[in-house]
Structure 1
Amino acid sequence: MIVLDVLTAVSMLSGAVFCVLGGIGLVRFPDVPSRLQAATKPQTVGLLLVLLGSALQVGPSGAAGLLLAALFQVITAPVLSQLFGGVAYHIGAREESTVVIDDLAERLGTPRD
Structure 2
Amino acid sequence: MNLEMLQVEINVDEALERLGQNEDLLFEILEEMLDRSGEDLERLEQAKEKLDWTTLAQHSHFLKGILANLAVVHLLSTTESLEKAAREKNPSQVEQHFKALQLGFERLKGLMKGQGDQLH
TM-score when normalising by structure 2: 0.40
Larger Rg: 1
